[in-house]
């Protein structure tokens, strides 16, 4: 979707290194989410944000941190990457305050930790 | 704990068949989404429902709030409909997802 972009699209990194994934939106939506998608598990929430500097943990937050210093950017950091964090990461945005509960996903980041 | 359950997990159909995918949920919701993901691809929201029924082309989505159940129907299925279909519900500030239904439509 044109209103939300993720970078990088693909990344290979070594165990123990820090990695930061970026989600950028141009929709001015209040809520932003980071999910990981793994076979057999579907989409699982890592962290989400409900405003600048307002974030909360999801069900699989261990080993991840996030930051949101601007409305348009939501960063996901793997503090010390492990092989179990090899996954496809999706960012999503929504804005329930606008009454639509619309939900838009980014194209995903495929991360491989070797 | 699975707040959202989908069935079937896998579905194979002949081109032209009518397809139904079901979603049941256990939490109070403000909206329900049906998402589509093609192999290796991104995720697209097909429908957002809070009541009743919506139709878009050959796709129809219904929701029964009292029964906490939604269905996605595909009429006159086509091989390009082959994808994973995911049910997602919004409850409070969070979304909960089903594990998806993998649909293969054979020509």
Per-residue pLDDT of chain A (114 residues; tens, 9 = 90+): 458 999 999 999 999 999 999 999 998 999 999 999 998 788 899 999 999 999 999 889 999 999 999 999 999 999 999 999 999 999 999 876 665 556 789 999 999 999
Q: State residue B40's pLDDT score.
A: 76
Q: Do A50 and B93 touch (CB under 8 A)?
A: yes
Q: Which residue has the higher pLDDT, B36 or A40?
A: B36
Sheet hosting strand A64-70, strand order edge to edge:
A4-7, A19-25, A73-78, A64-70
Nearest CB to B98: which of A42, A50, A102?
Answer: A42
Contacts of residue B90 in chain A, CB cutoff 8 Å? 94, 96, 101, 103
Q: Do A48 and B98 touch (CB under 8 A)?
A: no
What is the average per-residue pLDDT within B13-21?
Answer: 97
What is the average per-residue pLDDT within B5-27?
Answer: 96
Name every residue in B having a CB less than 8 A away from some CB of A. 30-31, 33, 35, 42-45, 48, 50, 86, 88, 90, 93-95, 97-100
Q: Which residue has the higher pLDDT, B38 or A110?
A: A110
- Count of all residues that appear for chain B in the document: 107
* Three-point CA angle B36, B80, B98, nearest 5°: 25
Q: State residue A101's pLDDT score.
A: 56
Question: What is d(CA A5, CA A3) in angstroms, rounded to the nearest whole number?
Answer: 7
Is the CB of residue A15 less than 8 Å from the CB of residue A81? yes
Q: Do B35 and A33 touch (CB under 8 A)?
A: no
Nearest CB to B94: which of A45, A100, A108?
Answer: A45
Q: Which residue has the higher pLDDT, B47 or A77?
A: A77
Q: State residue A66's pLDDT score.
A: 97
Nearest CB to A108: which of B42, B86, B90?
Answer: B42
Q: Do B90 and A96 touch (CB under 8 A)?
A: yes
Q: Which residue has the higher pLDDT, B18 or B44?
A: B18
pLDDT digit string, tens, across residues B50-90: 899 999 899 999 999 999 999 999 999 999 999 999 999 98
């Amino acid at each position: 979707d044109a209103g939300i972009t993720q970078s990088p699209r693909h990344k290979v990194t070594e165990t123990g290194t820090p990695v930061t994934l970026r989600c950028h939106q141009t929709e001015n939506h209040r809520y932003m989410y980071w999910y990981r998608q793994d076979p057999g598990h579907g989409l699982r929430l890592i962290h989400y944000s409900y405003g600048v500097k307002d974030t909360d943990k999801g069900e699989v937050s261990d080993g991840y941190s996030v930051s949101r210093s601007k409305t348009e950017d939501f960063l996901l950091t793997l503090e010390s990457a492990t092989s179990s964090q090899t996954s496809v990461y999706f960012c999503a945005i929504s804005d329930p305050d606008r009454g639509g509960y619309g939900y838009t996903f980014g194209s995903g980041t495929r991360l491989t930790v070797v | 704990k699975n707040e959202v359950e989908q069935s079937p997990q896998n579905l194979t159909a002949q081109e032209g068949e009518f397809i139904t995918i079901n979603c049941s949920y256990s939490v109070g919701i403000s909206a329900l989404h049906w998402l589509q993901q093609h192999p290796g691809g991104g995720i697209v929201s097909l429908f957002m429902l809070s009541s009743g029924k919506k139709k878009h082309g050959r796709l129809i989505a219904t929701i029964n709030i009292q029964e906490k159940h939604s269905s996605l129907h595909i009429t006159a299925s086509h091989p390009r409909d082959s994808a994973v279909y995911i049910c997602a519900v919004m409850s409070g500030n969070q979304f909960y997802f089903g594990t998806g239904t993998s649909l293969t439509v054979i020509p």
